[in-house]
A and B are shown apart, each in its own frame.
Chain A
């Protein structure tokens, strides 16, 4: 009797150690977040810089740990958490976007006179949440990650306490976000009821014998999809996107449009394209419809926007639609195309947001598109970089944005969805209009204000990396493509 009790304990200890090592990057981020909270209590004239530097350091540590762990794919915490090339790919993207956000935040925070340690702490927690989302192989872990990042971003959205837009955005986001989380949770509980487990791989086994016309299963699938599609900003769950993008502090908008979106796509890919792939017949038609609607609404409504952040919000909706097409295509190419697209999207979106932060004089004034007027005269290089980001967002070669779309189209046509491809390209021609409109403003219109904008070093770094990334993904896509294709979910054939 005592032997039987003892034996599992020994095994558990090993498993615990292994699990702790496997989740090392997450633990580093937690420690980092807590330490940052402590650090913020120490008053120092350059506290912002200190905290930002510390956060970047912790993320770099976590990134290097992830890098080493990538060679040892393993399942941890009794199958709830996984370290595989898929999660590593996404984590690298998340680390990257968080570091870029931190670098961008510096000048923004001092401009807005926001010296608050919580900013960095919350950002780290948001990062942690997204990391759990991409590593979770159990619905509970995924849900915890989803909520953790959402909670952190709710607060960050309302960080500009004096700004009505920011407060409103935060409140809207909380209400709608909580609602969508509830729907996701409901879908989860239905799945649990159907399969008796929350573990994805066990669920896959149980559900493989299920009848697909079972209304309960359809309901469960749709509810869970609605939950994640909300995070992605797909039509008809997109209502929150413009207001929240506009109201949130610009660096947070940048973060929000890349990290949680990438993580949400990772969740979709892991659940619906890998473990529960057998459910595909239930959602594939809906997904094609949603993708087209999302692209159409994003492209057309963006045409009439006067605020640059709102415009980018609709543009991000349109891009989400394009990404969903990759989901419709499915298969190896479909998945790899989504992963590559997200990477390219990260580069170009962070780049254009860095420009917006620079142009933004005061959050209270808003961010009219006219801010870009005459930029080419004042800052030729800045204008040129914006030009690259905008053409990339519009999907014109030789930028990364073109290759990303190109690869999605390949995946689509390979599966015979030629009509969808035609619709997609026509809508992306529509969306080109609002990007090139900004280019016209930069190069043709006279400047509103003559004075030059101070550009600090950290933003210079962000701009440079984003530009290089946007161009390299377009000119030499082979390396990035290989990276994405090699990182398909563990065991995917």
Chain B
């Protein structure tokens, strides 16, 4: 208690969220002046790890008992237009801050040797992306949010375009233009809401506003386009496989781990609480789209022979669970969805990491070319298997908790969608187990007769924390749920209390 009082008094004047957000970006300014590549790697790692420590401290220090925004910072920015620099976090954002910060330093480790060209620029990109992603989860001003949200396109575009695979330019353009078009419509929606809400960009103030159903419906559609591209929801998902396949490992981890979550986060932060009537009105449509995504993504994944593509389509399917859970408006459904967002970040991040590790060794992503890896690199096999099991939602892993909650929330609300969810989970088992069988079991086959070696210390450092979270959330999800509960309770209250 005394310790916390002490830290309270010290921390009171410290803009901790700004520190968290801008530490990586400001450090990026120093990177050009570092002399050797090794220093660049270590420097980036240390910065992002420090950032991770701040995020962990936030998670521990976070007050679970209230749904109010915490650590609020507010500065005037453009007073003439009602734009402020306002930050703050609630139970949902603090979780994603932690996830983002965790994946940040893992990305550095994952790119340690695989990035050989323009290492400095790469690390600068990584640092800037990190800042912008953290900013998205903290922003309480729509303008500020939009700046973070949109500015992220720049480093992400460069990352895919410069360090990606053979078809990277096409993938980068597709990613950029899809997201940009979606975001710009989102901007128009924001501006409409700005005038409806009395010329303010303050997210909290806008959340408490009451809007006509017509306004709500149109704004919902404009938000939907932006978020559906990011999530991605069928039919706006086609950029994802290209971007994932072409992006370097760190890019894939960031894309799958954090960027996709931003779409769902947008629904939680904006669409649901600000536009409750429209959310209720569109909920059946959203449930159907989610169910389609779950099944369609699953079938597509089943047909892939490229590991990254398979995981990319499995993401489409898994993200379907998230949007499905959100739009059930039940406590189980929404908390399952948020848990699943966290899980998906960890699990899919880990899967892309492991695909990257094996790609580093063999330079092949062709599933049939592999076989019997578990005999060659057993440690790798065990870890990879655990991540696949988690992705499959086997009981005891984090995926199980999320999917179970989502499905239990969906039954009763929309049985067809829930049925599709169950079917999707079965499909997931099919393609993930088949991936496991083809790559790790059977006679040994290594593409190109490449030299193989098992996980090194650096690689273990990335894998172990992710593994811990998979089982921790799987076996004892209560701490996570208790952080989320007050925020989600308030969210549901906002939807149900005012809706219909």
Contact = CB atoms under 8 A, between A and B. Distances in A.
B26 interface: no
Contacts of A436: 157, 173, 176
Contacts of A397: 146-147, 150-151
A370 to B, nearest CB: 15
A301 interface: no
Q: Which 7 A-B pairs have the closest CB atoms?
A: A425-B184, A397-B147, A429-B181, A478-B78, A413-B191, A429-B180, A397-B151
A230 interface: no
Contacts of A444: 161-162, 168-169
B14 interface: no
Contact of A409 (B77, B147, B181, B188): B188
B161 A421 contact: no
Contacts of B154: 387, 391, 396
Contacts of A476: 77
Contacts of A376: 118, 121
Contact of A422 (B32, B78, B146, B185): B185
| Chain A CB within 10 A, most for which of B76, B158, B184 | B184
B157 A410 contact: no
A380 B122 CA distance: 13
A443 B192 contact: no
A376 B120 CA distance: 12
Judged by DSSP, the binding face of A is helix
Contacts of A433: 173, 177
B267 interface: no
Contact of A429 (B78, B79, B177): B177
Contact of B79 (A387, A391, A426, A478): A478
Interface string B109-151: 0000000001001000000000000000000000100110011
Judged by DSSP, the binding face of B is helix
B187 A414 contact: no
Contacts of B188: 409, 413, 418, 421-422, 425
Interface string B188-200: 1001101100000
A376 B79 CA distance: 38
Given A436-B173, A443-B162, A398 B147 contact: yes
B150 A481 contact: no
A414 B195 contact: yes
Interface string B261-298: 00000000000000000000000000000000000000
Contact of A443 (B77, B161, B184): B161
A325 B299 CA distance: 46
A166 interface: no
A433 B79 CA distance: 33
B246 to A, nearest CB: 12
A282 interface: no
Contacts of A421: 188, 191
Nearest to B180: A429
Nearest to B222: A422
Nearest to B118: A376
Nearest to B191: A413
A376 B118 CA distance: 10
B455 interface: no
B78 A418 contact: no
Contacts, number: 88
Interface in B64-81: 76-81
Given A413-B191, A418-B192, A481 B78 contact: yes
A478 B80 contact: yes
A478 B185 contact: no
Contact of B187 (A398, A409, A478, A485): A409
B153 interface: yes
Contact of B169 (A418, A440, A482): A440
Given A409-B191, A432-B176, 5 more contacts: A436-B157, A443-B162, A477-B78, A478-B77, A481-B80
Using C-beta atoms within 8 Å of the partner chain, give the interface range for chain B: 35 or more
5 contacts: A421-B191, A422-B185, A429-B184, A432-B176, A476-B77
A428 interface: yes
A232 B425 CA distance: 59
A67 interface: no
B191 A432 contact: no
| Chain B CB within 10 A, most for which of A406, A433, A477 | A406
Contacts of B173: 433, 436-437, 440
A245 interface: no
A184 interface: no
A397 B192 CA distance: 19
B436 to A, nearest CB: 36
B172 interface: yes
A402 B151 CA distance: 10
B184 A426 contact: yes
Interface string A402-438: 1000110110011000100110011011001100110
B161 A440 contact: yes
Contacts of B81: 407, 410, 481
A406 B176 CA distance: 19
A198 B80 CA distance: 37
Interface in A427-461: 428-429, 432-433, 436-437, 439-440, 443-444
Contact of A428 (B168, B184, B195): B184
Contact of A425 (B80, B176, B185, B195): B185
A80 B194 CA distance: 42
Contacts of B184: 425-426, 428-429
A437 B176 CA distance: 11
Contacts of B80: 478, 481-482, 485
A485 to B, nearest CB: 6
Contacts of A422: 185, 188
| Chain B CB within 10 A, most for which of A414, A432, A433, A485 | A432
